[in-house]
Amino acid sequence: ETGVTQTPRHLVMGMTNKKSLKCEQHLGHNAMYWYKQSAKKPLELMFVYSLEERVENNSVPSRFSPECPNSSHLFLHLHTLQPEDSALYLCASSLEGEGTYNEQFFGPGTRLTVL
């Protein structure tokens, strides 16, 4: 298994649909992240989970709902999205703690298109 996997890789959904993005890490890390990447913009941190507890949500709209059932899995539940939510959604994980510099490892991303 590669380090960080994401499914699906591509998703097209209507504004009234409900879908979920899945992320899984096989690196023994203790922190996981959701980012939004739009063209020519900086990566936007959406959510951080450290030791399975959410520590940051950066004022993300409530139509995005994260879930972290354990340290290896992270979900992003989507409902009633808007066309401007179309973007690449990246999951990352890292090992936090003494002696680490918290390098983040990224998954390949889910390319989301909202019609």
Q: Lay out the sheet containing 18-25: strands in order across.
A: 4-7, 18-25, 73-79, 64-70
Would you give the binding string for another protein spanning residues 29-68, x where CB under 8 A is met?
Answer: -----------xxxx-x--x-------x------------
Note whether 96 binds another protein by CB under 8 A: yes
CA distance 92 to 76: 13
Site for another protein contains 108 (CB under 8 A): yes
Among 77, 103, 113, 115, binds another protein (CB under 8 A): 103
Alpha-carbon distance of 74 to 6, in angstroms, equals: 9
| Binding status of residue 104 toward another protein by CB under 8 A | yes
Using DSSP bridges, classify how beta strands 31-37 and 44-50 pair: parallel, antiparallel or unpaired: antiparallel
From candidates 34, 85, 109, 114, binder to another protein by CB under 8 A: 109
Residues that bind another protein (CB under 8 A): 4, 40-43, 45, 48, 56, 90, 96, 101-109
